[in-house]
Amino acid sequence: MKTAKWRRELPLHILVFPSLIIVLIYCYIPMYGNIIAFQNFKPTQGFWGSEWTGLANLNYVLEMPNTFRIIWNTVYIATMKIIMGNVVPILIALLLNEVRLTIVKRSVQTLIYFPYFLSWVILAGILIDVLSLQDGIVNQALGWLGMQPIYFLGDNRWFPITLVLTDTWKEFGFGTIVYLAALTSINPSLYEAAIIDGANRWKQTLHITLPGMVPIIILMATLSLGNVLNAGFDQVFNLYSPQVYESGDILDTLIYRIGVSDAQYGPATAIGLLKSFVSFILISVSYWLAYRFANYRIF
C-alpha cells in the first residue's frame, strides 16, 4: 500500500525538487553569512580569518544617534500600510459587490489590479513626475484650486503619508480580488431570506456580507502582522532623499547605506539579523493567531 502511494506521489516530489534546490541555494546557504554580525569582517580575510567581536556590532548600532528614530519610522510606516492595506480592499470589494453590470465590474477589477504588477522602479519615476513641486500634475491641480503646492517627496510631514497612500494604491487591487473571492462563498439564500424580511442593501451588508467576510479578514490581518518591520525597501529607496531621512529612513535603507555604501558589513548584518529575529517571532505569532481565530494552517 505504501509502495503504491509512493509511486503515485513520486512525480509530485520530482516536480517540487528543483524549487527545493533553489530555496536551499538562495535562502538557506546564505544564512551562513550571519556570522558576520559577530565579526569585524574584512573581505580579504574571509569568514574565519576576520576578528570575532561578539555583540560589539549590535551595541554599536544601538548606540547610533538615529537608530531608535529609524525603528520608529519603520514600525509607523509599516503599521499604517497594514491598516490601509486591509481596510481599503474591504471597502472596494463591498462597493464592487454592489455593481450589477459584469463588464463594468470586471473592467474596474482589471484597472485597480494593474499597478500591482509594476515594479517600484517604474512607479517611482511616474510618481516623481506626478508629485513634482513645480511641474507635477497634483500641485498644478492644487494651484487651480487656490491652494499652496505641497512638497510630497521632500517634506518630512508629507513623505510618510505619501508612502502609505502610494503603497495602498499599488497593492489594494490584490486584496480586493481576495475579498471578492470571499464574497462568492456566501450563501445567496441568506440574501433572499433577508429581502423577504424587508432588509435593505445596507442591512444586508451589515448582517450578512461583513460577517461572511470575517474569517478571511481575520486571516489577512493576522498574516500581515509579520510585516511590521517591513516598511517596503523598494518603495522608500526609490522615493526618498536626504531631505526626508528624518521621517522616511527605515531599517532596510539604513542596512543598505552602512552595509553597501559605507562597507560596514558587521553592523549592517547585525541590524539585519536582529530584524529577522523579531520578524520570525511576529510571523510565528501571526500564524498562531490565524490558526486560533481563522482556523488557518500551513500544514
The DSSP result for 85-138, as a single string, is HHHHHHHHHHHHHT---HHHHHHHHHHHHGGGGS-HHHHHHHHHHHT-TTT-HH
Determine the pLDDT at residue 55: 84
Low-confidence ranges of the chain (pLDDT < 70): 1-2, 294-299
- Indicate the helix (H) or strand (E) that contains 40: strand 39-40
3-class secondary structure, 190: helix
Determine the pLDDT at residue 107: 87
Determine the pLDDT at residue 22: 93
3-class secondary structure, 52: strand
pTM: 0.83
Query: Which three cell numbers mark 36?
Result: 558576520
CATH annotation of 60-294? 1.10.3720.10
Taking the C-alpha atoms of residue 152 and residue 139, their distance in angstroms, rounded to an integer, is 9
Taking the C-alpha atoms of residue 168 and residue 255, their distance in angstroms, rounded to an integer, is 25
Determine the pLDDT at residue 169: 92
Determine the pLDDT at residue 101: 83
DSSP structure class, residue 207: I
Determine the pLDDT at residue 200: 83
CB 244 within 8 A of CB 35: no
Ordered by start, the domain boundaries in the chain are 60-294
